[in-house]
Structure 1
Amino acid sequence: MPDPKSQSTTSLPKKLGIKEDAVVALISCPPGFARELGKLPASVEVRSNARGRADVIVFFATRRAELARRMPGFRRSLAEGGSLWVAWPKRTSGVATDLTFEPVQEIGLEAGLSDGRVCAINGHWS
C-alpha cells in the first residue's frame, strides 16, 4: 500500500501552474489525460495544439528526436512567463521510449529554456 505521506495532495493543474484565464496546450496526450486533469481554474482555454500563444504547454513525448524537432516551436508558442512541461513514459509504463530526465533537460536547455520543476503526471508518465 502506498505511503500516504508520499502522496501529494496538490492538484495536477496547480502543480503544472495552470491559473485562471490561462491558455493550455495539451499535445500528444494519452487517452483520458484531459479528464485526469480534473477541475480547471475558471476560464481556462484548452487546446490540442500549440498554435498561437499558450501559458502552459504539456507535451507527451516518447522519442528524443521528436522532442528535439518540436522544441523550438514550443518555445516560440510560450507566452512570456509561460511553462513548458515535457512528459515522458516511466520505465515501468511499458511504453517504448528513449527519453529520461537527462535528455529532456538537455534538449530544453539547448533550446534556450531553463529547467525548473519536476512532477509526476500519473503512474505512467513523469
Structure 2
Amino acid sequence: MRRSEQPSSTLALLVDVFRHSSRLVEKEIELARSELRASVSRAGVALALLVFAAVLAMVALNLLAGFFVGLLVQNGIAPTLATVLVAVGFGLVALVLGLRGLNDLKSATPVPEQTMANLRQDAAILREKTNV
C-alpha cells in the first residue's frame, strides 16, 4: 500500500513545485514591469533635464563665442577674421569631442554581457542539479 501512495504524493509534490515556480515567475515579471515603469519615468525626467541643459549650454557657448570675438576685435583683428577664428576654434573642439564620442559609442556593446553570462551559469547549474 505504501507503493501506491508514493506516486500520488510525488505527483502532488511536483504539481506543488510547478505551481510555486509559476507564482515565482509571475511575481518576478510583475517586479520587472514595476521597475521598468519607474525607470522609464526617471529616464523621461532625466531626458527633459538633459535637453534643458543642452539649450542652456548652447546659449552659454554663443555668449562665450561673442566674448572671444569681441576680445579679438579689441586687440586689432578685423571682426570678420575674429569671427572665423573663433568659429574654427569651436569647430575643432566639436570635431575632437564628436570623434571621441563616436569612437566610444562604437566600442560600447548593447548586450548585457555579464547578465547573459550569469544566466548561462544559472542554466548550467539547473541542468546539473536536475540531471537534464
- Work out which of the two has the higher radius of gyration on C-alpha atoms and give 1 or 2: 2
The structure in which a higher percent of residues are strand is: 1
The structure, 1 or 2, with the larger RCO (C-alpha pairs under 8 Å, 6+ apart) is 1
TM-score (ref. length: structure 2): 0.20
TM-score (ref. length: structure 1): 0.21
